[in-house]
């Protein structure tokens, strides 16, 4: 029996979560009923399109705890992060950009292309060290080491560890240094109060929380004007050129609305219950450990270290049993490079598995993994002997 004949158990929501029914309904309704109006035009069709975008913007802003005018729609979290780094580096040419090795590649790679990079160290849980930030800012205040931007992800996309975002933003604000928060792994999974945190730039992605592919947002602090990454028209208040992906934006708004009224809290509680059960079961298997902070983490992600077994082999074996997970090992994704996140915390990325739940996860999914995981490790270890 091949894996396609099995009931699938999708446990890779941290990579991409399937679109919610509300999202599919909202997008198909728009595609079927709306015209082809350009939202930049003042005729009736254009006004309908503009109204749909602004309604979605209000819903996304409510989810993120910010004002609608601060939300700039993009094609993805990756584009939003690139736009943040581009704008900050252009505003402060020659100044350095700070980021830790645990940041997503959509932060690390554009930072390295745009400016000298200062690497912030992390502890064994993958958390930024406040001392490094303080030292960096001291040099900036003294005029010896100017800093254009400090990156601090809200939560790690592989090990789930939550970063000291509020403390980092506060210190950078006092020093007059811009901050960018990659909140793609956190948005829709933990409550966000972006207005209260006061970060200058925050990037988020729709498909990580049950929205559509092809939609993201960059939240820009009130009063901050930076050079846009994409230039041409004056869409998104001249902050991001190009006609808006209206169906995806409508879907993003529907996903945000589904999490309103206590929806996020209910889903987070269920996700926490699922991953705690999963951790308990997995850690009962000899040679298995938890990577990252097992408590101060987003509720939907757990990462496991596995001795004597390659993560890629375990991933393939689980896939044949109908279970989808992710590994930080080389060749487990299109990058063909081991995870720098797992390396940064001193663990072996080639012997790791990430399991992540989402809005559509069920107790049966958790049971399937908990039953298959010890079996898979036992069989793979038996092959070595």
**Residue 190: helix, strand or coil by DSSP?**
strand
Q: Which helix H or strand E contains 97, and what residues bound it?
A: strand 96-100
Give Cα separations from 58 to 5, 89, 264, 327 (angstroms). Answer: 42, 29, 17, 36
User: Does residue 290 contact residue 319 with C-beta atoms inside 8 Å?
Assistant: no
Within a 10 A sphere around the Cβ of 8, how many other Cβ atoms? 14
**Residue 278: helix, strand or coil by DSSP?**
helix
Q: Which has the closest alpha carbon to 210: 4, 21, 2, 3?
A: 21
Sign of CA dihedral 302, 307, 312, 315: negative
Q: Which has the closest alpha carbon to 181: 200, 158, 202?
A: 202
Residues in a beta bridge with 118? 98
* The two three-digit tokens of residue 224, written as one number: 């901050």
**Residue 95: helix, strand or coil by DSSP?**
coil
The verdict on whether 2 is a catalytic residue reads no
How far, in Å, CA of 162 to CA of 189, rounded? 12
Give the DSSP letter of residue 73: E
Give the DSSP letter of residue 161: B
Q: Which of 2, 99, 172, 331 is catalytic?
A: 331
Give Cα separations from 220 to 163, 165, 234, 290 (angstroms). Answer: 20, 16, 16, 35
Backbone phi, then psi, for 304, in 5-degree steps? Answer: -115, 135
CA atoms within a 13 Å half-sphere pointing along the CA-CB vector of 172: 28
Residue 270 CB partners (closer than 8 Å, separation 6+): 361
* The two three-digit tokens of residue 319, written as one number: 């896939």
The greatest distance separating any two alpha carbons of the chain, rounded to the nearest whole angstrom, comes to: 73
Q: Residue 13, Cα to own-chain centre: how many angstroms? A: 11
Catalytic residues: 331
């Amino acid at each position: 029996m091949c894996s396609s004949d099995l009931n699938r158990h999708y446990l890779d929501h941290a990579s991409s979560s399937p679109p919610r029914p509300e999202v599919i309904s909202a997008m198909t309704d728009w595609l079927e009923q709306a015209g082809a109006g350009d939202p930049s035009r003042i005729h009736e069709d254009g006004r309908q399109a503009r109204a749909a975008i602004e309604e979605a913007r209000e819903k996304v802003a409510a989810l993120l705890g910010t004002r609608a005018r601060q939300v700039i729609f993009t094609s993805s979290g990756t584009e939003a992060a690139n736009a943040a780094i581009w704008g900050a580096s252009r505003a402060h040419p020659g100044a350095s950009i700070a980021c830790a090795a645990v940041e997503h590649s959509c932060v690390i790679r554009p930072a390295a292309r745009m400016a000298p990079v200062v690497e912030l160290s992390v502890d064994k849980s993958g958390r930024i060290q406040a001392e490094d930030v303080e030292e960096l800012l001291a040099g900036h205040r003294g005029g010896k080491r100017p800093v254009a931007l400090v990156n601090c992800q809200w939560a790690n996309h592989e090990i789930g560890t939550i970063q000291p975002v509020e403390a980092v933003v506060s210190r950078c604000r006092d020093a007059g240094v811009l901050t960018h928060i990659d909140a793609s792994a956190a948005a829709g999974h933990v409550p966000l109060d972006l207005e209260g945190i006061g970060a200058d730039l925050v990037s988020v992605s729709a498909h990580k929380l049950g929205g559509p592919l092809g939609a993201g947002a960059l939240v820009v602090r009130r009063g901050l004007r930076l050079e846009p990454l994409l230039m041409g028209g004056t869409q998104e208040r001249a902050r991001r050129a190009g006609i808006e992906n209206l169906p995806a934006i409508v879907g993003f708004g529907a996903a945000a609305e589904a999490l309103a009224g206590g929806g996020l809290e209910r889903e987070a509680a269920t996700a926490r219950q699922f991953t705690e059960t999963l951790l308990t079961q997995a850690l009962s298997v000899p040679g298995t450990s938890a990577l990252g902070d097992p408590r101060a983490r987003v509720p939907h992600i757990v990462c496991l270290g596995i001795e004597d077994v390659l993560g890629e082999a375990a991933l393939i074996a689980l896939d044949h049993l109908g279970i989808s997970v992710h590994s930080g090992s080389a060749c487990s994704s299109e990058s063909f490079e081991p995870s720098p996140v797992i390396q940064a915390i001193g663990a072996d990325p080639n012997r790791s598995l990430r399991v992540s739940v989402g809005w559509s996860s069920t107790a049966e999914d958790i049971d399937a993994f908990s039953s298959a995981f010890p079996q898979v490790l036992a069989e793979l270890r038996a092959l070595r002997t």
